Structure 1
Amino acid sequence: MRYEMFKDRRIHIIDLDDVNGERVIEFSDPATGPHESLLAVYNSGEHWSDAKVSVSPRAGDVPAEFMEWAIQIARRMMQA
């Protein structure tokens, strides 16, 4: 398991490749629930420009600062 700190929150980051070749980087806050995803960045293409962001409807509003932070991490991981 991988964790990164966002402000004072320890965010769980899950990096997976699904069977269709799609790469998914999921961000969850264990404080909101053990398996509650806040958002996921996914890419089924070969380039970062193909990536998309999905926000969990159960997460409600996600702060722009958190989204920007998560996207930067996902980009770094996908381009490595």
Structure 2
Amino acid sequence: MCRKFAELFSLLAAQEHANAQLLVFANKQDMPNAKSPAELTNILDLGSIKNREWFICGTNAHTGQGLYDGLMWVKKQMKA
């Protein structure tokens, strides 16, 4: 795992976050060099997270694209 993301996995391993889900907004999808959600899933090694629900969605904060999808995922998680 990349040292840059060690903090993310450290937070996820903390007991006080044992029941937390993870939402990742892959912002700036309108930029030509933006990493896709699939690429970021690999870079962040999200597939290795087996003990909680997680979701990644591409977003563009300027247009709002993808924000609704992320917030609806949170709503679904809160109902579960």
TM-score by length of 1: 0.34
Between structures 1 and 2, the one with greater helix share: 2
Between structures 1 and 2, the one with greater strand share: 1
Structure with higher RCO (Cα < 8 A, 6+ apart): 2
Structure (1 or 2) with the larger CA radius of gyration: 2
